Amino acid sequence: MISSPTRLTSLSRCFLGVIPSIVSTSDAEGIPNVTYVSQVFYVDEQHVALSCQFFNKTRKNLDGNPLACAHVIDPVSFQAWRLRLRFLRSETTGQLFESMKVRIEAIASQTGMAGVFRLLSADVFEVLSVERVEGFLAAPPPEDAVEPVSAAGRRTELRGLQCVSEQINKADDLETLLSSVLEALDGYFGFAHTMVLVTEPPCDQLVAVASRGYGESGVGAEVVIGEGLIGTAAKQRRILRIAGLDSNLRYGRAVRREVLSRESHPVAPEIPLPGLPDAQSTLIIPLTVGVDLIGVLVAESRALAGFDEWHEGYLEVAANQIALGIDRMSTPDGGDDEGAVAPRPLAVAKPGPARPKHSLTYYAADDCVFVDNEYLIRNVPGRIFWKLLTTWSREGRNEFSNRELRLDESLGLPEFKDNLESRLILLRKRLEEKCSAIRIERTGRGRFALVVDAELELVEK
């Protein structure tokens, strides 16, 4: 049993093979051996596995002395951890063996070593203890440790991870966090077409809140959990990597794109999910914190095998960071800090003779808002928008705070993880796309203004 309170799952980044690990063993006579291994594989909370690719000294030693020591390193924090291990068995078939084999072959292929690296067995160890290696870093890595680098450079993914982590730590609102993370994934990983969807309570659907590299933002598009590629990956909490997308799927997307280009005002409460009509491969990574699904990160590529195991390992680390960041922003005290930062000056709308007129209709039955008979937004963001509009109309007030929305029981926000930030992003972006005369402008941490540069007719049905 593990004697340390540190849980193996909390070291998940160490088990993705980003930084090689050190493994030491000894033979029965006490002659030590030390070697690098490309990856220590997480099996479960009490077990890890090492790949046996050649019947080497490490493997021979384990027959004489089953004890071993592994040093693993977190690729983001560079903290090292020491695992005391006891060799249990070698597996040559089964799920663990197959999953290790796939990854090793992918790495071998990536490094031009296909056929040289071959998994002989998955060697399973009991984890006797987990200890942090104190003093491994003389000082925390400097804040500017992430150095600018060309995306063409080798192993830029590692810097990309650090960059993603930095961006998440620096962001003080969800919109900044998501846009900077997608930018980093583009710059460092070369993933030019990405989107993030977040769960919409009561968690039966996902809503797109950010995208990059698509002509249309797709913000507000909904996906039912359990349906389609994205919904399936979300439901099963499993990474889905598909090379060579089904031609029918691409055909369907192309048709949809064509229809949309011909319809000048599609009046339908469905916002199409962004997607490359000629996508050849996709990678879908569930964003989870513990067992909770926070959202999904989707990347698409026009290359036939645009994503491989190598990318998957790095993106899984990035996804963990993104999930934690979104989770932090989604809790009531995550982005709520009224008064901590002086509100920014508000851009005042200047009335003029040519102010546009807009008619906004709210359908209470499904909290759906239409602008000039065109669908704008629905559900909780729709309710929030209507609350802002009616307050502005009734009281002439246009400054609001996250806190007052959270305290407004009529909006029905859950007390915990209310996703208010993502709902406001949704509203802001939908307004940008469909009614730019009304804007949501951030005025400080946890504060925003409703800027109306039009004459509005508000109708409630």
The reply on whether position 147 binds another protein by CB under 8 A is yes
**Omega before 148 within 30 of 0, i.e. cis:** no
What are the helix (H) ranges across 368-459?
379-395, 402-407, 420-434
The reply on whether position 30 binds another protein by CB under 8 A is yes
- Bridging pattern class, strands 80-91 and 121-132: antiparallel
Q: Of the candidates 78, 214, 310, 363, which one interacts with another protein according to CB under 8 A?
A: 78
The reply on whether position 25 binds another protein by CB under 8 A is yes
# binding residues, another protein (CB under 8 A): 50
How is residue 455 written in tokens? 């004459």
Q: Compute the distance between CA of residue 292 and CA of residue 203 in angstroms, rounded to an integer.
A: 10
The reply on whether position 154 binds another protein by CB under 8 A is yes
Q: Compute the distance between CA of residue 321 and CA of residue 287 in angstroms, rounded to an integer.
A: 9
What's the closest the beta carbon of residue 38 comes to another protein, in angstroms?
Answer: 8
Nearest residue to 307 (alpha-carbon basis) of 354, 393, 239, 216 = 239
Smaller CB distance to another protein: residue 150 or 247?
150
Q: Of the candidates 103, 159, 311, 428, which one interacts with another protein according to CB under 8 A?
A: 159
What's the closest the beta carbon of residue 287 comes to another protein, in angstroms?
Answer: 24
Smaller CB distance to another protein: residue 163 or 279?
163
> Residue 358 pairs with which residues in a beta bridge?
456
Pick the stretch among 154-162, 207-215, 238-246, 369-377 that binds another protein (CB under 8 A): 154-162
Q: Compute the distance between CA of residue 15 and CA of residue 70 in angstroms, rounded to an integer.
A: 11
Q: Of the candidates 3, 34, 255, 333, which one interacts with another protein according to CB under 8 A?
A: 34
The residues in 48-77 that bind another protein, with binding defined as CB under 8 A, are 53-54, 56-57, 65, 67-69, 71
Q: Of the candidates 1, 138, 267, 365, which one interacts with another protein according to CB under 8 A?
A: 138
Please enumerate in sequence order all residues whose Cβ is within 8 A of that of 170, keeping only pairs 6 or more positions apart, or say none: 180
Q: Compute the distance between CA of residue 409 and CA of residue 401 in angstroms, rounded to an integer.
A: 15
Helix (H, G, I), strand (E, B) or coil at 87: strand
In the complex, the residues that contact another protein under the rule CB under 8 A are 19, 22-26, 30-36, 53-54, 56-57, 65, 67-69, 71, 78, 80, 84, 116-117, 133-142, 144-147, 149, 153-159, 162
